[in-house]
Amino acid sequence: MKIDIILAGVGGQGILSIATIVGYAAVKRGMFMKQAEVHGMSQRGGDVQSHFRLSDQEIASDLIPMGKADMIISVEPMESLRYLPWLNKETGWLITNDQPFVNIPNYPDFDKLSAELDGLKNKVVINADQIAKDLGSARSANMVILGAASPYLGIPFEEIEDAVRENFARKGEDIVNTNIACLRAGREFAEKR
Amino acid sequence: MSKTLFLGDEAVAQAALDAGLSGVYAYPGTPSTEITEFIQNSKQGRAGEVHSIWAGNEKTAMESAIGMSYAGKRAMVCMKHVGLNVAADPFMNSAITGANGGLVVVVADDPSMHSSQDEQDSRYYAKFALIPSFEPSNQQEAYDITYAAFDYSEKYNTPVLIRLTTRLSHSRSGVERKAERPQNELHLLDNKKQFILLPAIARVNYRNLLGKQDAFENESLNSPYNKYIDGDDKKMGVIASGIAYNYLMENFDGKCPYPVLKISQYPLPKKLIEKMVDECETVLVAEEGYPFIEEQVRGLLNRTGKIIGRLSGELPRDGELNPNLVAKALGLPDTYGAPVPELVVPRPPALCVGCPHIDSYNAINAAMEKYGAGKVFADIGCYTLGALPPYNAIYTTVDMGASITMAKGAADAGMRPVLAVIGDSTFTHSGMTSLLDCIYENTPVTVMILDNSTTGMTGGQDSHALGVLGEICKGLGVKEEHIHRITPLKAQHEENVALIQKELEYEGVSVIIPTRECIQTLSRRMKKQQAAKKN
């Protein structure tokens, strides 16, 4: 089994914690993992992306070849589209938050952006911000997105839950529970579609 | 044995600790910063058993590491590629002194210039210094090579260089560790004069270094990191170094039909290259960075014409490689998903909301308006983003400390007024001697040292200038009445503009220090305080 994921967002939105959690679950299963991150200057409010590869075989490249990613997981809608050249046109899935992060003057028209996402073949578009807010933690939108992506990861859901618990354990029981609730809400949304 | 997830940088750091490191010396710089941070946060780092405090710049870092090696202990010095320019003097001469305790220089190159001003290739420096170098292709190799590099250094009494590139430094994968080795005891070389580079001694040392070259090459020939993997199809052979090897293998699901020579250790193993060139009709050289191997193998005259790569155009001459570029060079079909929709626009990095530099640039722009464009010289740091809209405030960024000395050169040329903008950490890195040049000649320059009390761009490392910038400037000789601390805030805008303009009119050296903590370090500090209160 092999899954190649592009994680996308804006610097500071928490895409790397998605990678940390899935990585933890995958390594625990004995899978191989490679994850190329972006550090440094571009983190300052710019677009950030991470190439995240899981496999039961040894992985050669740290970067995913174009056209071969199985999934784009994005916490921002415009950013999800930036990486379409990497996504497999036939079988790839795009999972994204639909709430724009507007920190540039020429951000595209929201309706046109929605139309662009609607036109894609395999996608889950979710208002993760609202779901996270309703569950009491606006900052956990990334866990809603992870939940929405979880049916396509090939890792049992309980193991992802365990990884979330592990990742937030030192922050206390309340934070663990909120994040688990966000993860489950994202999962439910994806399954109901 | 179980594996731990490490960034390439972290794998280097863990390996050095496990190999009995006594001290790491470094100045932060993307993509090398995480090596030293990992050691600082390690058990040994926190307990003070391994030195890991940041150095003032790469030159002082390199010199301290040579000193630790002189004393018999294992030392590592880490920097980004352009940092090696700063450290070039002690680096080149460390090849002549040789090492006592293992001396490992780790340089992280940044092809494609993700966070840098050029994409120079550090393998040239190792060749220039005539010392061995390594180019790991994955995180496990980064660990294994670093662990072994200290032994190599001690075996041949030579410093060695490890070259990383961005995609390895900042990519995470599982790594298996080796047994921990104790630190060396203090001990001096029997030859007490080896580190005195007087000409008579240096000539002897240099000949010794030249005499080791064959042994270095022999090590490369027998290195576990250089592999000749035979293939049935001799129409092509591929020499792939460092992470380019991964991009090659990605295209073949692990089994390449052509013979492959994987290179991760230098000097180049001539015999293996000769074998490939003799056996194969063409030889593709895939390497991350400059055409370092390609140029050596094909030679100036390119007589055979059978060596292809970045110089012949099969691969691009600049920028980093990826699996797709290597596929094209191999004549394999390129793959591509859907194009990027037109409505997707660039999202360049920007100064953070609440960043003190924003207020500094607003004041600078207001103060400079009447003097026209082109008179603000800037430096390396977050504040380089002042070059972008909406500020468009600065006109130069060349190297650490250049703002002040370039402003001086322009002032010498007759430009008035000139303003230099430099960060607090960049100032102590390489700006102090520049300021001294101005003071010595009483050059009419106004220097603004943006004091956010941290090294912001690389993630908020301590600044050597914390709280003492005014004293440093005074000590260097700036007149007290021309040293000002101001607060970069909207409420102080008018008075700040007036002060900058007043000093711009002064025909001598003035220093203005806008002082307000980096918004990122401030917020981290607040969070820590709150957490401490809760407990």
- Do the Cβ atoms of A81 and B352 come within 8 Å? no
Higher pLDDT, B114 or B79: B79
Determine contact: B385 vs chain A, CB below 8 A.
Answer: yes
- Do the Cβ atoms of A45 and B334 come within 8 Å? no
Contacts of A115 in chain B (CB under 8 A): none
- Do the Cβ atoms of B250 and A58 come within 8 Å? no
Q: Output the pTM of the full model.
A: 0.96
Could you tell me how many helices (H) and strands (E) chain A has, helices first?
7, 6
Contacts of A37 in chain B (CB under 8 A): 7, 170-172
Mean pLDDT throughout B232-245?
98
Q: Residue B481 — pLDDT band, cuts 50, 70, 90?
A: very high
Could you tell me how many helices (H) and strands (E) chain B has, helices first?
22, 18
Give the model confidence (pLDDT) of B54-94 as tens digits.
999 999 999 999 999 999 999 999 999 999 999 999 999 99
Contacts of A85 in chain B (CB under 8 A): 336-340
Provide the shortest C-alpha distance from residue A19 to chain B (in Å): 10
Three-state DSSP class for residue B263: strand
Among B326, B289, B282, B331, CA closest to B308? B282
pLDDT at B1 over 60: no
pLDDT of residue A146: 96
Q: Which residues between 14 and 33 in chain B have a beta carbon less than 8 angstroms from any beta carbon of chain A? A: 30-31, 33
Along the 193 residues of chain A, how does pLDDT read in single tens digits? Answer: 899 999 999 987 888 889 889 988 998 888 999 999 887 665 678 899 999 999 999 999 999 999 999 999 999 999 999 999 999 999 999 999 999 999 999 999 999 999 999 999 999 999 999 999 999 988 899 999 999 999 999 899 999 999 999 999 988 999 999 999 999 999 999 998 7
Q: Which residues between 161 and 190 in chain B have a beta carbon less than 8 angstroms from any beta carbon of chain A? A: 167-168, 170-174
Instruction: Specify the range with the lowest mean pLDDT, choosing from A36-40, A113-117, B199-203, B281-285.
Output: A36-40
| DSSP label at residue B181 | -
Cβ-count burial of B440 within 10 angstroms (0-12 exposed, 13-18 middle, 19+ buried)?
A: exposed
pLDDT of residue A27: 86
pLDDT of residue A1: 85
Give the model confidence (pLDDT) of B433-452 as tens digits.
999 999 999 999 999 999 99
Determine contact: A192 vs chain B, CB below 8 A.
Answer: no
Q: Which residues between 63 and 82 in chain A have a beta carbon less than 8 angstroms from any beta carbon of chain B? A: 63-69, 78-79, 81-82
Residues in chain A: 193
DSSP β-ladder status, B509-514 and B445-450: parallel
* Identity of the residue in A34, A69, A79 whose CB atom sits nearest the CB atom of B173: A34
* Identity of the residue in B115, B338, B459 whose CB atom sits nearest the CB atom of A84: B338
pLDDT of residue B368: 98
Contacts of A62 in chain B (CB under 8 A): 167-168, 171, 173, 243, 246
Mean pLDDT throughout B327-352?
94
- Do the Cβ atoms of B323 and A39 come within 8 Å? no
CA distances from residue B49 to B44, B75, B415 in whole angstroms, order as listed? 5, 13, 52
pLDDT of residue B371: 97
Determine contact: A104 vs chain B, CB below 8 A.
Answer: yes
> First vs last Cα of chain B: how many Å apart?
37
- Do the Cβ atoms of B171 and A34 come within 8 Å? yes
Provide the shortest C-alpha distance from residue A160 to chain B (in Å): 17
pLDDT of residue B329: 98
* Identity of the residue in A65, A104, A109 whose CB atom sits nearest the CB atom of B323: A65
Mean pLDDT over each residue of chain B, to the nearest integer: 96
Task: Tell me the sheet residues that pair with B74.
Answer: B21
B220 close to B226: Cβ distance less than 8 angstroms: yes
- What is the rounded distance in angstroms from the CA atom of residue B164 to the CA atom of residue A181? 41
Q: Which residues between 403 and 432 in chain B have a beta carbon less than 8 angstroms from any beta carbon of chain A? A: none
B223 close to B267: Cβ distance less than 8 angstroms: no
Structure tokens at B248: 């090659």
Among B473, B482, B481, B471, CA closest to B444? B482
pLDDT at B254 over 90: no
Helix B356-368 vs helix B493-504: crossing angle, to nearest 10? 50
ipTM of the complex: 0.93
